[in-house]
Structure 1
Amino acid sequence: MTALGDSIGIDGATVLVLGQELAVERGQPDVANALVHRTGDTLVLVDTGVTDAFRAALREAADRVGPWSRALVLTTHGHPDHIGNNDLADELGVPVEHFVPARDLDQMRDPAAYWARAFERIAAPEPGPAPAEAAEQLLSLFRPLRPFGATTRTYEERPLERIRIGSLRFTGWTFADGAVRVLRSQGHCAGHVIVHLRDCGVLHLSDEGNGPCGAMADADQLKIQTVLGAVALLFEEGRAALLTDGHTFTVRRGAEVVSYLDGLLEQATALQEAALGLTGESGRARPGAFTARYAQSAAELGVSGANPNAMFTALMAVNQLRELGLRPESGDPDAPWSRPRPRLHDPAPPDG
């Protein structure tokens, strides 16, 4: 059993600081794991989590991997459990650079609007707060929430680089003379990146491996599955040795990583097959009823995300309907979804 702020020492210069799971009923925010690494005289922080207790754990881990005389803070994406302590960059007392994904700036500036948009897409199983109110209630758990510091810039202000690792080609950005590689993935949400630490062989997947189906409105299922396959190949080729992520409180190694990632891909295909069966021959479903049956299918398949609960299952269900090619017939949250029929021929233009 782990507790918030516990850590796993990877080597003398690298520590994984462990977060915690979401428990809304207890007023507990989820807190993402963070990587603390030193390369040369540079301290590297990958995500900063949230809560004052986690901030203190990050400072302790930074002292543990020292000494360092400059710092690099890397944000993998804009969700509140990853960015709450980003202003820690201003308190390190050394020259520091902090980078965030440009495509996540809007949600970082206005997280309430981002989460309200997410909740507007789902049909609640029972009467509850309006989407905007639900978003505010959720975000109230994430305190302090300080996503920006004095030195914050976007990755995209730097020239995009072609990065080759083994047989794979990525685009992204390198730091510390190539010891730190930030690779664009953009599956879990619009701006998501993953991070490869060359010297210790760690690949930090952050939230791309949260489950077989992305939950957020800006998730891209194809990109999630593509990055899982690419990372599995990096481990098969020996180009990465250790896998860490945002919400699994462990470090995976070697062949175990390939099996784990293959399992996520197998779950994705099995869950989509189950969802297809739930829509029947008509290819039509109401989200409320579909979500309940989808949750049952997910449980039978042993599928769970990083924070398994009814809210995220409902978000996943809506994305799964879209993956099947269905579209809502109106703007009502529980309006039927159906599959548009392709037309073989455009209608003939009117005479004259």
Structure 2
Amino acid sequence: MTALGDLIEIDERTVLVLGQGLDLDRGQPDVANALVHRAGETLVLVDTGVTEAFRAALLEAAARVGPWSRALVLTTHGHLDHVGNNDLADGLGVPAEHWVPAPDLDQMRDPVDYWVRSFARVAGPAALPDPARTAARVVSLFSPMRPFGRTTRTYEERPPERFRTGPLRSTGWTFADGAVRVLRSQGHCAGHVIVHLPGPGVLHLSDEGNGPCGAMADADQLKIQTVLGSAALLLEAGEAGILTDGHTFAVRRGAEAVAHLEGLLEQAAALGEAALGLVGEGKPVTPGGFAARYGRAMADLGIGGANPNTLFTAMSAVNQLRELGLRPESGAVDAPWSRPPLRNPEPAAPPTG
């Protein structure tokens, strides 16, 4: 049984700081796992979670991997459970840098608006009479929220670099004289990155491994699956030996890590097949009805993902409808979705006489 702030030592200079799950009924925010590493004289913090208790755990982990004389804080994406203590970069008493993905700046500045847009898509399927009120309630759980510091800059201000890591080609940025690689992934949300530490052989997926189907409005299902496949490739090639992420409270090594990734990919294929069967032969479907059947299919397949609840299941269901090529027939709440016609309608014949 794990608790918020528990530390898992990967090696003498690398620690995974464990977060906690979301519990809306109890008013408990989820807190993402964070990775703490020392690369030479540089302290590296990959995400900072949220809550004062987690902040204290980060400082404990930083002391454990020390000593260090400068700091590097890396944000994998802008979701609330990953960014609340980002101002730590300002308070460590050493020269520090803080880097965030540019596509996520808007949601970091105005998280309520981001979540309103996410929840409005599922007002019908999730029975949300007031998406704005729900968004404000969710955001209020994450406190204190300090996503920016004096040194915050975006990764995209740096020239992109091209990497070849074993069999994998990718783009991103390096830090700490190449000891830290930040790779663009952008599946879980628009700005998402993953982090590779070649020294200890750690690949941190953050939230790209949250489940077989992304829930957020800016999720990209193909990119999620591409990241999972690329991660398995790096592990099989020996370019990484340890897999960590944002919401499963475990450190996976070698074959176990590959099996975990293969399992997620198999779940994605099985869920897509099940969803296709639920859509049927071209008849319109309502997101509400589809989401209920989709949730049962997930349960039958044993698929959970991070923070399973009816709200996130509905969000995933809407994304799955779009993934299957369906589109809403109108802007009404729970309007039917159907496949757009493959051809434009024939023009009307001109009048005669």
Offset at residue 279 of structure 1 (A): 1.0
Structure 2 CA distance for partners of 1:125 and 1:217, relative to 1, 3 Å? closer
Distance in 2, matches of 1:85 and 1:199, equals 26
Q: Say yes or no: does 1:259 pair with 2:224.
A: no
Contact 1:212 1:305 in 2 (8 A): yes
Structure 2 CA distance for partners of 1:39 and 1:231, relative to 1, 3 Å? same
Aligned position for 1:145: 145
Distance in 1, matches of 2:44 and 2:211, equals 27
Residue type at the aligned position of 2:305: G
Structure 2 CA distance for partners of 1:253 and 1:127, relative to 1, 3 Å? closer
Structure 2 CA distance for partners of 1:324 and 1:58, relative to 1, 3 Å? same
Offset at residue 47 of structure 1 (A): 0.0
Q: Say yes or no: does 1:171 pair with 2:198.
A: no
Offset at residue 348 of structure 1 (A): 8.3
Residue type at the aligned position of 1:214: G
Matches within 5 A, 1:169-208: 169-208=169-208
Aligned position for 1:249: 249
More deviation in 241-250 or 276-285? 276-285
Offset at residue 128 of structure 1 (A): 4.2
Aligned position for 2:269: 269
The two structures have a TM-score, normalised by structure 2, of 0.97
Structure 2 CA distance for partners of 1:44 and 1:291, relative to 1, 3 Å? same
Matches within 5 A, 1:299-314: 299-314=299-314
Contact 2:298 2:304 in 1 (8 A): yes
Matches within 5 A, 1:71-150: 71-124=71-124, 127-150=127-150
Offset at residue 280 of structure 1 (A): 1.1
Matches within 5 A, 1:207-226: 207-226=207-226
Structure 2 CA distance for partners of 1:126 and 1:270, relative to 1, 3 Å? closer
Distance in 2, matches of 1:202 and 1:127, equals 41
3-state DSSP of counterpart to 2:153:
strand
Contact 2:122 2:128 in 1 (8 A): no
Residue type at the aligned position of 1:278: L
Task: Report % sequence identity.
Answer: 75
Distance in 2, matches of 1:150 and 1:97, equals 9
Could you report, residue by residue, the CA deviation over 1:10-53 in whole angstroms, capped at 9, with x for unpaired residues?
Answer: 00000000000000101100000000000100000000000000
The two structures have a TM-score, normalised by structure 1, of 0.97
Contact 2:182 2:196 in 1 (8 A): yes
Residue type at the aligned position of 1:198: P
Distance in 1, matches of 2:43 and 2:154, equals 19
Structure 2 CA distance for partners of 1:133 and 1:344, relative to 1, 3 Å? closer
Distance in 1, matches of 2:125 and 2:176, equals 50
Offset at residue 283 of structure 1 (A): 4.1
3-state DSSP of counterpart to 1:333:
coil
Question: Which sections of structure 1, spanning at least 5 residues, go unmatched?
Answer: none
Matches within 5 A, 1:43-82: 43-82=43-82
Offset at residue 191 of structure 1 (A): 0.1
Residue type at the aligned position of 2:193: V
Aligned position for 1:316: 316
Structure 2 CA distance for partners of 1:42 and 1:338, relative to 1, 3 Å? same
Offset at residue 333 of structure 1 (A): 2.6
Offset at residue 177 of structure 1 (A): 1.1
Offset at residue 305 of structure 1 (A): 1.3
Distance in 2, matches of 1:3 and 1:129, equals 34
Cα RMSD after superposing both structures: 1.5
Residue type at the aligned position of 2:280: G
Distance in 2, matches of 1:349 and 1:106, equals 49
Distance in 2, matches of 1:129 and 1:137, equals 14
Could you report, residue by residue, the CA deviation over 1:48-87 in whole angstroms, capped at 9, with x for unpaired residues?
Answer: 0000000000001000000000000000000000000001
Distance in 2, matches of 1:4 and 1:39, equals 25
Contact 1:283 1:326 in 2 (8 A): no
Contact 1:123 1:287 in 2 (8 A): no
Offset at residue 344 of structure 1 (A): 7.1
Contact 2:33 2:246 in 1 (8 A): yes
Could you report, residue by residue, the CA deviation over 1:260-309 in whole angstroms, capped at 9, with x for unpaired residues?
Answer: 11111111111011111111112421011110000000000011111000
Residue type at the aligned position of 2:73: V
Residue type at the aligned position of 1:7: L
Residue type at the aligned position of 1:100: V
